[in-house]
Structure 1
C-alpha cells in the first residue's frame, strides 16, 4: 500500500484542534429606570413591564434602593443592547497570563465538575460545550480580551434543563461598587471575599428566559463569574433554572477550586482536545450505541502508542451526527495527534477520506490517505497526517488519523485499529 499525497474531495476531514479561532459576542443590557422615594423591599418585585413585539425587556430598575450587603448603592448606568463579533486566536500557553496553562485549565475543569450537585448531569456535547475551560484569547494588534478562560455546558437536573457558563480571570483592581439593577445581594464571605448574586430574567419577543448569576471577587485576585439559565440545548425553555443561587455561590467560592493561585497537582494532563468532522451527514447516534462503542475502543491494544488520555470518550463532533475523539500521543517517532471518528450515511464507494481504496472479501472498503497538515499557530511546522477509513455496506464508517512532524504510525497499524470488530455503528 502506497500513501497518496493527492488531495481529493475529502482532504483531512478530521481536525485535531490545539489552537483555534473563535468569536466572542459581547452584549450589554438595557434597563428601564424608575425613580422612587422609598427603597424597594428585598422580598418584593415590580410588575413585568409592557412591551411590543420583538422588544428586549429586563425587569425595571427602581432607584434609590436598598441592597442587602451594600453600604451604598449607585444609580443604574445607561446603556443599550449592543453586540460585536471579534475573531481571535486562543492558546493555553499565553505568556500574558502566566497563572494559566493547559494543566491549570484541566485542574479547574475537574474542580468545577466536582462542585456540581450530585444529581446534575452535563449534557452530551462536543468538548468545548462540556464544561471544559477553554484557552485564553491571545492579544492581537494591541487589542486585549481580558484574560478570561471560559467553560460552558447544558446541564440537566430532573425535569429542569438549562445552560451553565463560567468565566475566570485575574484582577488587581478593587471590588466595584454596588449598582442598582446589577445585583440583588452582596454576600461577604468568611475569607474576605465577596459574592454578588442576582436572580432575574429577560424577554425577547415576549419569550422569557430565567437567569441566576454570581460574580465572586476572591482574596487572591480571582474573579469568577457563573451564569445559569433555563435554556435547553434545543434553545427551548424548561421553565426553571437547574441550579440555585446558593449552589452557584458554592461553585465559584470553594477554598481551592477555580482560584488562579491554587497550585496545579503534579501530573495533571492538558484538557481533552476538541475535534470536528467535516462530513456533516448521517443520523444522530443514540447514547446506548455510544456507550458500546466507547467500551470497544477502550479495549483496543495500542502497541508503541502512548496516549495522554485513554480511548473511549467519543463525543458529538458538532457538525452532524458523527462522533469523534482526539488525543495527544507519544510514539517512537515523537509527539503526535491521534484521532478517531465514526458516523453513518455514506456510500461504501464514496465514503470520507478514501484516497487509495481496496475492497475486502466481505465487501468492506478500506481507504488510505496522506496529506501535509499546516497548523495556524505561529512558528508551527508542517505535519504529516495519515488516515485510514473503513466504510461498511451499511453506510457506517470509521476513520483513524495520526499526525506528527514525521509519519508517526504506519497504515498497517491504523488499519488494524479501524477494523477492530464492534466499531461499526450500525449492523454490528
Structure 2
C-alpha cells in the first residue's frame, strides 16, 4: 500500500516479476468539436534507464493473489487511458438518452454532498468545480473516448490539496477480470455491486504522482470511477496530498444518485454554464472579492425577469481573465442567455468621434465610460461599464428566442455602485 507521509510505495520483490517500466511516452492530442483527447500508451519491457519523456509505474508481481478475486490474470501487454476536456455546454446528446442537463445537475449535487465535511472544492471555473460535463462521444463513429460524463476539481483538505476526477458511464459489457497490476482489491457488496480499488503511483518525466482509484460496477450497468491524486493543478500553494482515502472513494462510486437509472428530481435545472470571457485579461480575482460581489448581484432587483438561478455565483472564467456567470432568462417572450463578466485593471476605452446606429459610448460625471451595442443577427444586446478604478463590468443578453433584454435593465446591473473592488 502507498505511504502517504513518505509519498512512496515499496515495490514488491518476489520472483518472477514483470516490470512495467515505460521507456517511451506516446502522446497524441486531437482538437475537434470542442474537445481535446490525449492518451498514453505504456508497454512492459525490461528495466532500463529512465529517459526524460518516460512514464513509469510500479513493477508488477505475477503470479499474485488479490483479495476478492478467484482468478488473477497476468499483466496486460498494453494499457491505455484517456482524458477528455469539453468546452461545450450543450448536454443534449441523442446517443446517450439517459443523460441530460438536469441529470448532470442531480449527479453533481449528489457527488458534492458525498464529499467529507472537511473537504472544500477549490475556487475555479465551472468545468473544474466538480460539475459533470456533457458527453461528447458518438457510438456510430466508433468513438471510444467520449462515452462518459466527467467531473473534476482540486480539493482542499486542511493545509493540503489534491485532485479528484469522477466519470460515469453506461456499460453493457461484462465486468472485467482481475488483472495483476490493475487493482489491489475487489469488493463484493450485498446488492451485487463490485468495486475495484487501487492505491499506486506513476512518474512522468521523473515527477511522481500518488494515485488512488475506486471503480464501481453497479447492477444497472452503471460504471463509476473516482480517481484522487496529489496533483494540485489549481496552484493553491498548499502541500500536495491525495485528498480522499480509499473507503471515501468507494462511498462516492456507490452513491445511488450517480446511477444511470437514478430518477431526476422534478424541477431540477441544468448545471451552471461554463462562461468564456474571451479577450479579457488582468490580474486574478480572489474568492473573497467574488463572494462580496455575489452579495451585491443577489440584491439587484430584476423586476419582471425570471432566471433559472439567481445572479451571484461568480467563478473564474474558463478562458481569459476576470470572473463570470451565465444564467438562462426564463421569462415568457424574453427567453435568452444573460452573461456577466467582471474584470479589473482595465484601461478606460477611447471614446469614438460619433456613435453608430448599433453602438454608442458616453462618459458619466464620475468618469466611468458606458458602451452599449446591439446586434440583429443573432439578436443580442451588451452594456459594458469601465470605471476609473479599472473595474470593467460587461452584461450581455444573447441567444434570444424573440427579443433580448432591454439595454436599460443591462445598464441597471452594470452600473450598480456595489460592483467595485472592496
TM-score by length of 1: 0.83
- Contact 1:123–1:155 at 8 Å: present in 2 too? yes
1:26-72 Cα deviation digits (max 9, x unpaired): 334445589xxxxxxxxxxxxxx963444211001111111111000
Structure 2 gaps of 5+ residues are 1-32, 352-357
1:209-267 Cα deviation digits (max 9, x unpaired): 0000111100111000111100112568944201000000001102x220010111111
1:271-298 Cα deviation digits (max 9, x unpaired): 1111011124111112221111000000
- Contact 1:326–1:339 at 8 Å: present in 2 too? yes
1:166-225 Cα deviation digits (max 9, x unpaired): 110111111110011110111111211100100000112221100001111001110001
Partner of 1:247: 248
How far apart are the structure 1 equivalents of 2:191 and 2:54? 42
Structure 2 residue 392 is the aligned partner of structure 1 residue 402: no
Distance 1:161 1:67, change over 3 A: same
* CA drift at 1:389: 0.4
How far apart are the structure 2 equivalents of 1:168 and 1:84? 13
Number of residue pairs aligned between Structure 1 and Structure 2: 381
Partner of 1:304: 304
Partner of 2:384: 389
After the TM superposition, which of the residue ranges 271-280 and 74-83 deviates more from structure 2? 74-83
* CA drift at 1:362: 1.3
* CA drift at 1:76: 0.8
How far apart are the structure 2 equivalents of 1:86 and 1:106? 18
After the TM superposition, which of the residue ranges 192-201 and 327-336 deviates more from structure 2? 327-336
- Contact 2:138–2:146 at 8 Å: present in 1 too? no
Say which SS state the counterpart of residue 67 (structure 2) adopts: coil
After the TM superposition, which of the residue ranges 286-295 and 211-220 deviates more from structure 2? 286-295
RMSD of equivalent CA atoms: 2.5
Say which SS state the counterpart of residue 137 (structure 1) adopts: coil
* CA drift at 1:88: 9.6
Partner of 1:419: 415
Distance 1:212 1:32, change over 3 A: farther
How far apart are the structure 1 equivalents of 2:146 and 2:82? 17
Structure 1 gaps of 5+ residues are 1-19, 35-48, 373-381
Partner of 1:168: 168
Partner of 1:376: none
After the TM superposition, which of the residue ranges 64-73 and 22-31 deviates more from structure 2? 22-31
Say which SS state the counterpart of residue 110 (structure 2) adopts: helix
Listed as ranges, the matches of 1:142-161 within 5 Å are: 142-144=141-143, 145-161=145-161
Partner of 2:101: 102
Structure 2 residue 123 is the aligned partner of structure 1 residue 127: no
- Contact 1:33–1:62 at 8 Å: present in 2 too? no
How far apart are the structure 1 equivalents of 2:274 and 2:84? 22
How far apart are the structure 1 equivalents of 2:292 and 2:347? 24
- Contact 1:230–1:239 at 8 Å: present in 2 too? yes
Say which SS state the counterpart of residue 331 (structure 1) adopts: coil
Partner of 2:198: 198
Listed as ranges, the matches of 1:250-329 within 5 Å are: 250-254=251-255, 256-329=256-329
Listed as ranges, the matches of 1:3-402 within 5 Å are: 21-31=34-44, 51-79=50-78, 91-139=90-138, 142-144=141-143, 145-234=145-234, 238-254=239-255, 256-350=256-350, 355-371=359-375, 383-402=378-397
1:124-170 Cα deviation digits (max 9, x unpaired): 01111100011111428723345211111110101221111011011
Distance 1:54 1:290, change over 3 A: same
- Contact 2:127–2:318 at 8 Å: present in 1 too? no
Say which SS state the counterpart of residue 118 (structure 1) adopts: coil
Distance 1:196 1:288, change over 3 A: same
- Contact 1:30–1:58 at 8 Å: present in 2 too? no
- Contact 1:149–1:168 at 8 Å: present in 2 too? yes
* CA drift at 1:85: 8.6
